[in-house]
Amino acid sequence: MIQLQAVEKVYRTDTIETVALAGVNLEIAEGEFISIMGPSGCGKSTLLNLIGLLDAPTGGQVALNGTLIASYRDQDVAPIRNREIGFIFQSFHLIADLSVADNVEIPLLYRSVSAKERRERALAALDRVGLSSRVHHFPSQLSGGQQQRVAIARAIVGRPRILLADEPTGNLDSQMGDEIMSILHDLNQREKTTVVMVTHDLAKAEQTARTIRLFDGRQVN
């Protein structure tokens, strides 16, 4: 499903070169639920961004569904992100001026989907995360856990095969964190969605099938 070969990411300025990732080889099968762990600054989020095609590697190759990503031009990767990948962020990144339902509809705006169908699918996604009673609320009217559930609904509304979650429970208390983990597990088991989760939390990592550990931009056992 996801293959990384000798992937590296180096940030260069005129005077300094920072190696964020080096020599990462990774293969994630369809329907897997894996976690990425490591100390702050070890390259976890960078790795997730490369898998999510939000950033281009400076070396190595990334393939999704057996297709090598040859071009990182906006118009080439945007449709892949739209169809194949759903993102869940630590700080939710909901748009404050949009209602819950409008937030959830966002990925469908970039497909040929009618307004009616967009609304129906957004309501179904919200129902899936147990928030059908908050459709017309605004993000500021929701708790952190509820906001993250809206973010999950937004991530799954386009029925992507891959969910990338960057510290999805990082801003939540343990009870809400457990709820979010439970939703992710449910999506993984019932829908066979591939989930890649970055976390600091060993307990959460242990709930996944496999853990990738990073240290100073390198994969460690």
Partner 1 sequence: MLASYLRLALKVFGRRRFFTAVSLFGISFTLVVLMVAVAIVDHVLTPRAPETRQDRTLGLYFASMQGKHWGWNSEPGFMLIDRYGRGLPGVERMSIFSTPQDVPAYLAGTRVNFDLKRTDGEFWKILDFTFLEGGPFTSDDVDQARFVAVLNDTSRRRFFGDGRALGRTIEVDGQRFQVVGVVPDVPRLREVPFADIWVPLTTAKSDSYRRELMGGFLGLFLARASEDFPAIKEEFRARMKRVELTDSHYDSMVAVPETPAERLANRIEVGPRRGVIGTDRQGRTHVGRFWAALGLLALLFMLLPTVNLVNLNMSRIMERASEIGVRKAFGATAGTLIGQFVVENVALTLAGGAIGLVLAAAVLRALTASGLIPYAQLQMNGRVFLWGLGLAVIFGVLSGAYPAWRMSRLHPVQALAGGGR
Where along the sequence are the contacts to partner 1 (CB under 8 A)?
Answer: 49, 52, 54-55, 74-75, 78-79, 81-83, 87, 89, 93, 95, 97-98, 102, 105-107, 109-111, 115, 154, 158
Residues in the chain, total: 221
> Closest distance between partner 1 and the C-beta of residue 74, in Å?
5
> Closest distance between partner 1 and the C-beta of residue 171, in Å?
14
Find the angle CA(147)-CA(160)-CA(103) to the nearest 5 degrees: 30
3-state SS record for 131-199: CHHHCCCCHHHCCHHHHHHHHHHHHHCCCCCEEEEECCCCCCCHHHHHHHHHHHHHHHHHCCCEEEEEC
Q: Please provide the distance, in angstroms rounded to a whole number, between the alpha carbons at the two ends of the chain.
A: 22
Nearer to partner 1, 114 or 175 (CB): 114
> Closest distance between partner 1 and the C-beta of residue 206, in Å?
28
Nearer to partner 1, 33 or 92 (CB): 92
Residue 192: how many CA atoms within 13 Å on its side-chain side?
Answer: 4
Tell me the backbone φ, ψ of residue 98, rounded to 5 degrees: -105, 145
Nearer to partner 1, 95 or 203 (CB): 95
Q: In the chain, count H helices and then E strands.
A: 7, 10
> Closest distance between partner 1 and the C-beta of residue 182, in Å?
24
Nearer to partner 1, 34 or 164 (CB): 164
Contact between 12 and 19 (Cβ < 8 Å): no
- For residue 78, the one-letter residue type is A
> Closest distance between partner 1 and the C-beta of residue 43, in Å?
13
> Closest distance between partner 1 and the C-beta of residue 195, in Å?
16
Q: Which of 219, 197, 221, 201 is nearest to 42 (CA)?
A: 219
Nearer to partner 1, 117 or 173 (CB): 117
Nearer to partner 1, 58 or 211 (CB): 58
